[in-house]
Structure 1
Amino acid sequence: MVVIIIVLRMDGYAIMYSVWLCLLLILRRSILRWIWIVFVVFVAFSLIWQFLMSIGPPPNLCIEYEWETRTRYWTIAQDFWFLVDNYRSPPSRKLIGESILLIMASQQMVSFWLEIKNSRNKIDYDGGSNNYIIHQFEDPDFVNPVVDFTTYTTSYLDVAKRIFFNMSYWGCMWIIFLGSVNRVNIFSIVYLCYVFLYLWHGINIYYKPLTTILKSWNQLIIQNVLIICLKAVLQVPGCFYMPDIPMQYCGLIGMVGIGCIRNFEYTDYFNKLDEGKTMCRASKQEMSYVVWDAVIFFILMIQRRVFRSYNFFHIINDAKAQHLLSARGALLLDEMHEMRIKEMKDDENRVRDAVKMKLTKLLYKKMDIQGEFFKNSVITHKMAIRSGDYYMYEETEGEIKLKDELKPKEEKETKGRDKVRHIMITLFADMITSNMRIAVKKYWNTRKEEKEQIEEVAEEDEEEEEEEEEGYGTTLLLSMIWRTIYLFRFTWAIIDIIIVTATEFFETYTKRYVMVCAKLDKEKRLLKEQTDYDVGVRIEGWWLPRASFEGLIRQPLPEPKKSPKEMSTSDLPNILKLLKAFWIIIVARSDLLCYFCVILNQVMLCQLITIPLSCMVYMWGMLSNPRPSKTFWIIMIGYVELVVLIKWLFQYNVMPGNNLLNFKEEVDPMEPLETSNPFFPSKFMGLYHMDFYYLWEMFTVMAILIHRHYLMRIGLWTTLTTSVTASSCDGYYAMREGALVRTTRVPGEAGRDKVYTIRSSRASILDNILSSVKFMVAIEKAAITAYYIFRCIYLLISAQQIRIGYPSRIWGFSFCHGFGLWNYIEIRIYLLCPFLFELRSSLDWMLTETTMSIFDWFKMEDIYASVYKVKCLRALEKEYGSPPGVQKKAIYKYMYGITLSLFFIILIWFPLLVYSWGREAGQSHLPSFASLQFQIGNMEPIYDNPAHVYKLHESAFEYMKQVYNAYDTPKQFFYGYDHADVGVLTFSTGGNIWMLRPQEEKIMLKVINSAHPVTVTMTCTVWLSNGENQKELTVSVHNRLFAYSRNRKYLSDVMEFDREFDGALTVRYLLPKFLKVEQTGSITILDNLMLPESSGLEASGRRNVTFVARLSSEGLGRMWWEVTENVGDENYKNFLEQMPYGSLSQDYIVIFTFNDKVVHAFFNILTGGSIITFYSVFLFVVHGWSRQVISGRFSMIWLYEAPQADILYSMCNEVYICREAKMWDLEEIAAGRVFFAMKSDNTAIKLSRFHGNPYNPTTDKRLPSVTRRS
């Protein structure tokens, strides 16, 4: 509580309490008992004095104080020393903490009085003793009064104690680590060094004497208390003298973290005192994170209590026993590894010998049947694989088992997993066939009772259900309550099934680790019960056992200890089982977790300083056989700690790059090079100020420490190494360097877009470094980040494959190692991927030694895939099948029937839905920019102005629609748009200065005075914005001025005499009034919103334009053109004048754009063409697919409806076995058997009958064999 008061107040009283804290810390408990009364009196008088200062003297006395002069120093002194003030009293909230401290100190004084009293009378207090017990640990006759919870788990309390006392040390280290890296000052380096030192030793510090452990821990506590006291003392310069400190010392102030902390001030009263002054200010982060010191002190004191408890004696003894058994774990792993290799080799030899014997008999039989023909004929490969006949199936041994029978334990586990799946299926089946209440009751009763009682329970439940329906179905409220209860129970049942399934999934991948740990735990119990294992020798302060495990077992104790009754793992709740299984899989697979953390660190930050970690993972860790040595992990731990330390040093603002502006991911050429260049040294190295700079390194250290715990527990924390063959290293290095992925930023159009391309190239280590630096610019691109992560995972898998080698027998696909639902889905997806099956098969044939041709290989792969699918379907029917002779439930039929019907109806409506939705839905997409240009001939444009783009208001759009109420075609057109889709482009009538060079003027006069027509061109350009992209759309209108016309004469006079003339240049039907911007990205002129004139149909879409030449006031032959739209015609009077912006036609050029709504580019492709074309193509493709799935498969019914495919599947596997055993003649025999079975439907049908069928020649040898058909 004293530390909390110091951290909260940080004033003069905090300094006094700091002195008391140091005094209380260094005194022994026996002395504290006597001087504690002094501390209580001090707290009491301090509280009384401050209370008096808070309320102040009576106002009638009119006492004035020196600090009321309101100078800066006296104002701060009044707040710092909690002095009375007539105008601004000190905050009384500061006294709350001291009031609580006084209460706690008084109670502690009572405890001290009891201890003094009991020590004088030599009475043992019932609540326990606070005496010093450390010396008892080294006493050989000492008996620990606390039950050994590390060896025996008798209750949940033992489980909690085991977790707490084993994890408290690591939890304390991580809290201290977070407290040091979250602050950047010189005090944090003390914490960081201590943390790295303790993390480096780990639980090895338990092998030191307990007094040494406490001594080093007390040193850390003293450092923590000194830091708290120093920070309290530094409030004096931070609050009083900060404006007087020169600016050149700001770096030093930031390193020390000097600042003025006022936790009870919520106004800017004190900030106004320093307003306008140039002074150094500590960061707010440094001033607010003083709380971390209090948290660290709290956790250090808790851990100190742990070290001084009887419970910790068991932790040390458990560590000693684990040290004795460490070598045993390595031996057990080696034994299991050798046994597994032996079983695999025996299984391979058994299968190979069986296939060889079987096919050799068929080869000899073929030679006997063919006789002289076989000896005298030249047999080709094609003849060999087509030589299959009925004799090959007359005396078959049936299916050759690829694996031995399951062991009893494995069979029990398999049945357990099947039972969980069956329970889940039954739950949903009961939910569908009956109701939720019956399903929930059956599930929870099934979890408690045996299978033989399920039917009786179900009948009782149905009877109870009827009674319950009558009982609480009368009131609506009670019925809703019961339904809610059963809904929660049903939800919990689903969660329970998920928990059990996840637990079993985790346990599947941790069997070896669990078996070794169970064996070690058994031997540890034997060691603790029958030997004095904790007696050892000290060498340089470190504990070492006096004998090995075998030596201690040979010398048991005369009276072994009795083991108590323990809790079984099956007694634990499912959620605890899941947590335990999750922790075990993290520990057992912690090496992969370490590699993944290193990769994620490099991918997320892309810093040069962490590249050595990635190199160590790829070129050392993953290529070490059988596993990396202790040296590798020590270097990893040391380097990660060094990276954190270096990064911490570069968080200071005085470091290079930190005083610059924030780094930006996008490179702007107008910014300084240092702030945007990824090759700037501090950013290139990753040594600059950033938030959570330690995060990924912290995860990496945690993963490495977990793996070290695993290695020490199993006994693999050794320096033994196994060299890797040169071929493995070279092969992996070539693969890695040849498939190095790089990202390069390519400037897009006009330098605005940034396109990231991924390419593969051969590169060096330096190229890898440069690639990582380039990747820093693209780190925000999620697709590239995901690609890098998956690429790194692929490299890890490849390295592991090289390290462990390749199996000698490979067949089928990578996912053909089971026959479940997921295997069936995977092979269906694999076969649906375009050209994947063909590409994979052709590559396999090219790289595999075989006698088969490429087309025979394709046939074999196709047969294998088909047979494998049938085998998966039979396995699914066996697992999820329904009993025979049972009518399908109505709800079952409705569910599937309605679903399929809706599916086909949706397929029929899908083209119409997409087409209509694609044209109606989406967002309005008005032009972002537009320009209008008029040009005579090929000369410079006489008019080129940008537009002001406006969105039409809803009321204006409704008024526009009313103008066309009497016309059906425009009304129908307006139904496809709303007000947000209509844009208004307004252009000023005055153009820019039209400047022609003398040569151009002569050419222009010559063209105008000639007899050839002169072309006048209108060009309207619209830009549509799509994120960072700009799309340009252009529409042009051309008209001609014929010779000897009034317009030509006007142009000639203007050009020749260089002055203004009466008259104007009028061009008919040149300006489009309404434009349509379509989804496809095209722009067209609308001709259905105006009426045609008698002189031509062009009036329905375009307007007349008048050009008047104006001479510039500056003279010098400069001229500009005034462009106006002609008004007064019928279209203007009937429509345009009444429309929005119609009154501006004389002052502006107004153009309306109708813009189609924009949706995804995919729908643009679908809706851009004709609906009939889209509908026809869609129905053709979908109908062909559905017809292929539902009908038209009668020719393959014999295969897809085969009762079982075991023998056909075994025949396919025989081909792979012969090929990999390099028995080329037998490979042809095996392939011939498969091809003939597929060619002869009758033979394949007989081979695919159920096992035990009397008509199956493979199960009854007394029946006549399969003969040739006559």
Structure 2
Amino acid sequence: MEDQSIELEGPMDGSAEDGQPRTTDLVEIQVTSADEDVKKTPSEDSLDGKKQDKFEQSKSKVYLLLEALYYLLISRTELICYFLMILDQIVYASLLSLPLPLMVFLWGMLSVPRPSKSFWITAITYTEAIIVVKYLFQFGFWPWNKDQTNLEPFYPPRIIGIEQINGYATVDLILLLALFIHRSILKRYGLWKDAEEINSDFDKVEEKISPHGSPAPKREDTELVVSGSTVQTSGTHSSIEESLEDPNGKKKRAEMSTFGKIVNPFKEFYNQVTNPDYNATTDVYASMFFCDFINFFIVVFGYTAFGPQQSVGTGDVSSYIQEDKVPIPFLIMLVVQFILIIIDRALYLRKNVLGKFIFQIVLVILLHVWMFFVLPEVTKRKFSENRPAQLWYFVKCVYFGLSAYQIRSSYPTRILGNFLTKSYNYLNLFLYKGFLAIPFLLELRVLMDWIWTDTTMAIGSWLQMEDIYANVYQLKCWRDIERNYPTPRGFKKKSLIKYGVGGLLLILIIFIIWFPLVIFSFANTVFKVNPPTECTVTMTVNGFQPIYKMTVQTEGIRALSSAEYKTLKETFNGNLNAIAFLTAYEPEDITEIQLNGQSTSLWGISPPSKDELIKQLASSNKARLEFHASFLRTPSSASAADTLSFQIVRTLDSTEQTTLRDILTNTTQTPLVISKLFPRFMKLPSKGSAAGIKTLNDGNVDNCYSYIYSESA
């Protein structure tokens, strides 16, 4: 086959100096047509196409779904690698695995248009190093592997990641496999090499196709007709002249070059990240806010995983509300998370990509320090065993991924407005009404929009504009709904719509009206039995030492039987109020406490105090007899009291006072009888204090007496 050549007109690199057309030899391409090659006719091509279409149609839906999932996975295998890097840190939470998520959020996800070859080589090499290091420290001769009873979260082998455990490198091996698969896919589609390597390959091809013996074309410096380049060149010459005049210029230039070597890579990386040639602007703020919203509730309902154990109580937010106290660490965490949401909103409204870039770096570093170093020290729990913290960290990682995508794509021109108002349908309408119903939420968003948006409007005018926008959006939703679901004019509504929609709304309104009463009634009539386990009764006179003290425990406390409950109700025959009161309770709800008439302790009053009491009883002042009863029980909830008390103060009349004085002076053996000193029936509520049951105590029951007498030697 003969060599072929082509004439190229115009100036080119390496062209002849005389400007004449030059000829360049092309690569020999030999095309042979063998006799045995069979050319396909159009009829055969159409037949193959029909067979292919028939084969595609014969595939089942499940097969097509699996095939689509396969192509989805191989198209975004880098996301699988990112997920496994994050999962590796969640499972092991060690210093060895910590660089993996940092590489993901500070390098891989910020690379434009995709992570470079250096990133994947670094990830593969580091993962292999982790596996080798962990394997070397799994042998039993290491001293820390002999004692595996240490449960401290900051145990050095554990926090480093060289502890001897089962499955010490399972996730690492899966990650390494995923990285190799991703590398093979990139090589298959020609995406493994960087642009510099591709240019180098082009240069090699150019050298290879050059005529043998001729020197390779050299690229000469050419003055570009660009004003910026010309000015930059002149600036370079002026700086050189200044350095020649200044004897210290060489030293300054060396210092600037050293500083530039440190700073320039970061500048180039940021310029590459924010290069608009690779990514179109997008808005993912709503998704980022949703991640923060989820994390906010994870902290609220799982505070035991984020706060010190000694100050969390039962650990749920309802107990904090019932006990009227909020732990300081819990409050600090909520406030800090709220402040981060405000900062993110401010950067979003200002469209500050540089601020978002710095905020991303600082937040990633601080969060990993807090989650893997501060939090285990505060909670005294390993991160690998802290499920709420792991869930919070994973959701935050999703936020970091969306944030990196926002930084790469930059902010769109128009960002004002609510993401709920992007569509006009029933769902968006009701969600937007719910958004408006939340107190201060609309005002908070409007105020932030006004602060961080360039505008000539006053705050009052801005609020009026938001109010107009809200009304217009709701009207547009109704108009759009009427257009999508048209109703003929002049025809009455169908019964299905009236009883369906109207009936549901009617039931909802009735439910809202009566639901609180039903709940209160249900809570008051159906409750858990919580009988007392101990009862202590004391009687004192004028505040001196108790003259009677008795403690009854489990053996003297029992629930009524069904027969005793029936007998009790028969006792109150004719008293409708008492019968109605007893009907609301079951036999196991009523507890009988039997008090021993004899005091369990001697009267330990001193002789001077006894003389003072006798003196007070002999005076004309009225003496006070105090009856105090306390009931101890197991609290059923945070709001239920474990101790209920009951106290009655009664003034003694002159006869009772004289009799008591004579008993104390041993001048009489007549006992002092005090009738109706304490109620026979008492009620112990879930909280508050014990009280007598007036309905039963005023019925046909025996009086309760208290006998006070002296046993003289």
TM-score tier, shorter chain, comes to 0.5 to 0.7
SS at match of 1:852: coil
For normalisation by structure 1, the TM-score amounts to 0.36
1:769 aligns with 2:375: no
**Is 2:112–2:273's contact at 8 Å kept on the other side of the alignment?**
no
Q: Which residue of 1 aligns with 2:538?
A: 934
**Equivalent position to 1:947, from 548, 553, 557:** 553
**Is 1:743–1:758's contact at 8 Å kept on the other side of the alignment?**
no
Q: Partner letter of residue 1090 of structure 1?
A: N
**Could you report, residue by residue, the CA deviation over 1:73-105 in whole angstroms, capped at 9, with x for unpaired residues?**
xxxxxxxxxxxxxxxxxxxxxxxxxxxxxxxxx
Q: Within 1, Cα distance between the matches of 2:592 and 2:28?
A: 96
Offset, 1:847: 0.6
1:829 aligns with 2:434: yes
Q: 1:1004 to 1:631 in 2, by over 3 A?
A: farther
Offset, 1:932: 1.6
Q: Which residue of 1 aligns with 2:359?
A: none
Q: Which residue of 1 aligns with 2:269?
A: 724
**Is 2:629–2:647's contact at 8 Å kept on the other side of the alignment?**
yes
Q: Which residue of 2 aligns with 1:1091?
A: 698
Q: Which residue of 2 aligns with 1:537?
A: none
**Equivalent position to 1:813, from 400, 418, 421:** 418
**Is 1:1041–1:1048's contact at 8 Å kept on the other side of the alignment?**
no
Q: Partner letter of residue 801 of structure 1?
A: Q
Q: Within 2, Cα distance between the matches of 1:958 and 1:555?
A: 114
**Could you report, residue by residue, the CA deviation over 1:1116-1167 in whole angstroms, capped at 9, with x for unpaired residues?**
xxxxxxxxxxxxxxxxxxxxxxxxxxxxxxxxxxxxxxxxxxxxxxxxxxxx
Q: Which residue of 1 aligns with 2:310?
A: 747
1:579 aligns with 2:66: yes
SS at match of 2:98: helix
**Is 2:632–2:644's contact at 8 Å kept on the other side of the alignment?**
yes
Q: Which residue of 2 aligns with 1:377?
A: none
**Is 2:630–2:646's contact at 8 Å kept on the other side of the alignment?**
yes
Runs of 5+ unmatched residues, structure 1? 1-550, 663-673, 730-734, 1094-1098, 1116-1270
**Is 1:952–1:983's contact at 8 Å kept on the other side of the alignment?**
yes
Q: Within 1, Cα distance between the matches of 2:271 and 2:436?
A: 38
**Is 2:678–2:704's contact at 8 Å kept on the other side of the alignment?**
yes
Offset, 1:1080: 5.8
SS at match of 2:645: strand
Q: Within 1, Cα distance between the matches of 2:146 and 2:597?
A: 53
Identity %: 25
Offset, 1:1006: 1.8
Q: 1:886 to 1:1047 in 2, by over 3 A?
A: closer
Q: Which residue of 2 aligns with 1:794?
A: 399
**Equivalent position to 1:925, from 497, 513, 529:** 529
Q: Which residue of 1 aligns with 2:630?
A: 1020
1:1037 aligns with 2:647: yes
Offset, 1:657: 7.8
Offset, 1:926: 0.5
Q: Partner letter of residue 932 of structure 1?
A: T
Q: Which residue of 2 aligns with 1:910?
A: 515
Q: 1:1107 to 1:700 in 2, by over 3 A?
A: farther
Q: Which residue of 2 aligns with 1:849?
A: 454
Q: Partner letter of residue 587 of structure 2?
A: H
More deviation, 645-654/928-937: 645-654
Q: 1:1027 to 1:1033 in 2, by over 3 A?
A: closer
SS at match of 2:698: coil
Q: 1:569 to 1:920 in 2, by over 3 A?
A: farther
Q: 1:724 to 1:1029 in 2, by over 3 A?
A: farther
Q: 1:727 to 1:639 in 2, by over 3 A?
A: closer
Offset, 1:746: 4.8
**Is 1:926–1:983's contact at 8 Å kept on the other side of the alignment?**
no
Offset, 1:1040: 4.0
SS at match of 1:1088: helix
Q: Within 2, Cα distance between the matches of 1:588 and 1:1110?
A: 99
**Could you report, residue by residue, the CA deviation over 1:129-182 in whole angstroms, capped at 9, with x for unpaired residues?**
xxxxxxxxxxxxxxxxxxxxxxxxxxxxxxxxxxxxxxxxxxxxxxxxxxxxxx
SS at match of 2:529: coil
Offset, 1:946: 5.6
Match runs of 1:1079-1228 below 5 Å: 1083-1091=690-698, 1103-1106=704-707
Offset, 1:805: 1.9
**Equivalent position to 2:103, from 609, 613, 616:** 616
Offset, 1:934: 1.3
1:1075 aligns with 2:691: no
**Is 1:930–1:1023's contact at 8 Å kept on the other side of the alignment?**
yes
1:1006 aligns with 2:612: yes
Q: Within 2, Cα distance between the matches of 1:639 and 1:718?
A: 20
Offset, 1:561: 9.4
Q: Within 2, Cα distance between the matches of 1:805 and 1:768?
A: 29
For normalisation by structure 2, the TM-score amounts to 0.59
Offset, 1:703: 6.0
**Could you report, residue by residue, the CA deviation over 1:762-798 in whole angstroms, capped at 9, with x for unpaired residues?**
9686544333414563977876655444344334433
**Could you report, residue by residue, the CA deviation over 1:678-704 in whole angstroms, capped at 9, with x for unpaired residues?**
444456557667777667657756765
1:867 aligns with 2:472: yes
Q: What root-mean-square deviation, in Å, do the aligned CA atoms of Structure 1 and Structure 2 show? A: 5.2
1:759 aligns with 2:332: yes
Q: Within 2, Cα distance between the matches of 1:987 and 1:656?
A: 65
Match runs of 1:458-477 below 5 Å: none
**Is 2:112–2:408's contact at 8 Å kept on the other side of the alignment?**
yes
Match runs of 1:430-469 below 5 Å: none
Q: Within 1, Cα distance between the matches of 2:642 and 2:495?
A: 60
**Is 2:572–2:699's contact at 8 Å kept on the other side of the alignment?**
no
Q: Which residue of 1 aligns with 2:357?
A: none
Offset, 1:812: 1.5
Q: Within 1, Cα distance between the matches of 2:56 and 2:94?
A: 46
Q: Which residue of 2 aligns with 1:630?
A: 117
Number of positions where the alignment pairs a residue of Structure 1 with one of Structure 2: 531
Q: Partner letter of residue 103 of structure 2?
A: M
Offset, 1:850: 0.8
In terms of fraction of residues, the more helix-rich structure is 1
Q: Which residue of 2 aligns with 1:858?
A: 463
Q: Partner letter of residue 1006 of structure 1?
A: E
**Equivalent position to 2:586, from 978, 986, 1003:** 978
Q: 1:854 to 1:750 in 2, by over 3 A?
A: closer
Q: Within 1, Cα distance between the matches of 2:681 and 2:600?
A: 25
